[in-house]
Amino acid sequence: QEQLVESGGGLVQAGGSLRLSCAASRIIFHINTMGWYRQAPGKERELVATITDGDMTNYADSVKGRFTISRDNAKRTVYLQMNSLKPEDTAVYYCNSDLRGVRNWGKGTLVTVSS
């Protein structure tokens, strides 16, 4: 049974918006730091944003002011609101949970931004 399942990816034009969701199971969600990472073709996986159990957030410089990470502990879900999307945001986006170094990954959802 999958622990992290992403949804919400798709094709969008530059300047558009998407909201990604990641539903968690089989982890104690509310005490995990949750994160979004992405991997573009031919590139390494990189951090996009994280949110701690205390709702402290951290963003990659490339997405600051455009993306917002949030979490709903009651729904065991973390979100990534992506606005003003650019072609360079095209990647597979992965959800991550981290509890004192114990990490889980989802299978990813593809975001394609056309110019």
**C-alpha angle 11/81/111, rounded to 5°?**
25
Using DSSP's 3-state secondary structure scheme, residue 43 falls into coil
Consecutive sets of 10 residues in the chain, 115 residues long: mean pLDDT of each? Answer: 90 98 91 96 97 97 98 97 98 96 95 97
Q: What is the pLDDT of residue 1?
A: 64
Mean of per-residue pLDDT scores for the chain: 96
Nearest CA-CA partner of 34 in 85, 2, 76, 75 = 76
